[in-house]
A = this chain, B = another copy of it.
Amino acid sequence: MPGIDAVAALAGVSTATVSRALSGNGHVSPSTRVRVHEAASSLGYVVSSPASSLASGRTKNVGVVVPFISRWFYSSVLEGAGSALLKNGYDLTLYGLTGGDDERRSVFEHFLLRKRVDAVLALTIELTSGELQSLLDLKKPIVGIGGPLAGVQTLSIDDVGVALLATEHLLGLGHRRIGMIGGESGFELDFHLPTNRRAGYERALRTAGIEPSPRFFLPADFTIRGGYQAATALLGDPAARPTALFAASDEMAMGSILAARDLGLSVPGDVSIIGIDGHEHSGFFGLTTLAQFPERQGAHAVEILMDQLHPGRRDPTPTNIPLPVELIVRTSTAPPPAR
């Protein structure tokens, strides 16, 4: 492992010049820049990150805090963020908040404070004011996905709007009896997502002159199994069942499709089903959905972080950036049965 002075010696310049040439900070003549790069690569020199960090105060690393890792949405965002960071020369240090409160506390009170990250990316985490404060105290760029988070730059889809669109799609097909499988309100990790999606659903109905019926709403836990159970209950009464179901996540929508089948109902013949997510499996199930694009969200968040880390690279960005969603119509939705 050669050091910077070996490179300097070989290139016939000072270590300062090597540092400048390799990092791109400060001016170096084109010719010496080339010499230095050649010397470095011929020696296989790679800068020591701790030494560089200690001297410069920058780490070329960003911390990503996630509530879960092995769920489609989070791991997809992670994938997008990771590859975007790599392209920018940054590492990604992952802080999972799975374990208990102790683990969570140690992340905020110890791990994130070690001066190991230049910025932090927080995925759909409802932070306590103490946690938020300790992040803000770092005086480092923070961006949240799924926000909004007070005082933090965030990206998020418009949960009310997306639910509105989904419900309107169903209304547009002629459905009047539309059920919803929502989120459990205790699901706090996602910023009022359950509440907002329900609000969008109800607003769409009311706008169409339909009073939402509590009998048509059932909360579930965002999983296939939860969706299956809720759909089974909602579709169970042949006399008074909805002709369409809007599920607040694709996994629940998939569970609903399976439940409908098991009840002997055809989708979309007897019941239409729409979800939210654009889950990787939604195509297989022929599910109509409002797709969000988690990988792009991750990449987008990284862009914002990079802009803040390298001022002058772009305009300052506003406080909460709405993220695009896209209605993908597949074969799970159609006009209601003739009756």
A48 at the interface (CB under 8 A from B): yes
The 6 closest A-B pairs by CB, nearest first: A50-B53, A70-B75, A49-B114, A46-B113, A50-B54, A69-B79
Interface check A239, CB cutoff 8 A: no
Q: How far is it, in angstroms, between the C-alpha of A33 and the C-alpha of B102 when the chains are bound?
A: 23
Q: Are B224 and A284 in contact (CB under 8 A)?
A: yes
Within the complex, the shortest CB–CB distance from A195 to chain B, in Å, comes to 26
Give the residue among A54, A61, A103, A114 with the most B Cβ atoms within 10 A. Answer: A114
Select the stretch in A6-14, A84-92, A205-213 that faces chain B. Answer: A84-92
**CB within 8 Å of B: which residues of A?**
1, 46-51, 53-54, 59, 61, 68-72, 75-76, 78-79, 82-83, 86-87, 91-96, 98-99, 103, 106-107, 109-111, 113-116, 224-225, 228, 255, 261, 280-281, 283-284
In the assembled complex, the Cα of A1 lies from the Cα of B57 at a distance in Å of 13
Query: Which among A86, A92, A111, A280 has the greatest number of chain B C-beta atoms within 10 A?
Result: A86
Kindly provide the distance from the CB of A229 to the nearest chain B CB, expressed in whole angstroms.
10
B86 A106 Cβ-Cβ under 8 A: yes
In the complex, 7 of the A-B residue pairs with CB atoms within 8 angstroms, ordered by the A residue number, are A1-B115, A48-B114, A69-B82, A70-B78, A75-B75, A82-B95, A94-B94
Q: How many identical chains are in the complex?
A: 2
Given known pairs A54-B51, A86-B103, A93-B91, the reply for A46 and B79 (CB within 8 Å) is no
Closest residue to A76 on the B side, CB-wise? B70
Least CB separation from A96: chain B residue:
B82
A111 touches B86 (CB 8 A): yes
- Tell me if B224 and A281 are in contact (CB < 8 A): yes
Most buried by B among A50, A51, A53, A87: A50
Known: A78-B70, A82-B98, A96-B79. A284 touches B50 (CB 8 A): no
